[in-house]
Amino acid sequence: MRFLCMTLALLLAQMAQADMVVATQTIRATSIIPAKAVALRDGTTPGVHSNLSEVIGFEARTTIYAGRPVRLADVGTPALIERNQIVVVTFVTHGLTIRAEGRSLSRAGVGERARVMNLSSRNTVSGTVMPDGSVSVSN
């Protein structure tokens, strides 16, 4: 019984020593998060970042106020395409490649999904943003 109590006390102590990322200054939405704007603080809050490398260099999706924990949904990859930007839409299937111009309907970073309106047909498609700034649509 004593061993069980000691083990439980150690587990609770480790949980209390967990770190979370907190903003040290207000970070505006769409800005890249610098190292000086975040720090580690003791605390356990579900749904927040616990490592500085998960936040530094990424883009703030919403305004993060000083002293507040940085939630998982608050940061993402830096946007490569902006809303209303003209982008190349690529569709590849069975050796056939079709390229068309489209207008981005949202901001998105590399690897994220973006909705794009084909300028010729006015149809809306969803695709993945590629490193070159084009949007790849798969069937």
Domains and CATH numbers, the chain: 14-76 (3.90.1210.10), 79-137 (2.30.30.760)
Residue 38: its pLDDT value, please? Answer: 95
Residue 40: its pLDDT value, please? Answer: 93
Asked if 79 and 109 touch (Cβ cutoff 8 Å), the reply is yes
Residue 1: its pLDDT value, please? Answer: 56
Residue 44: its pLDDT value, please? Answer: 81
Residue 105: its pLDDT value, please? Answer: 97
Asked if 60 and 33 touch (Cβ cutoff 8 Å), the reply is yes
* 108 class by beta-carbon count within 10 Å (0-12 exposed, 13-18 middle, 19+ buried): buried
Q: What is the mean pLDDT of the chain?
A: 88
Residue 10: its pLDDT value, please? Answer: 46
Exposure pattern of 2-38 as b/e (b: 16+ CB <10 Å)? eeeeeeeeeeeeeeeeebbbbbeeebeeeeebeeebb
Residue 13: its pLDDT value, please? Answer: 47
Residue 2: its pLDDT value, please? Answer: 55
State which residues of the chain have pLDDT below 50: 4, 8, 10-16
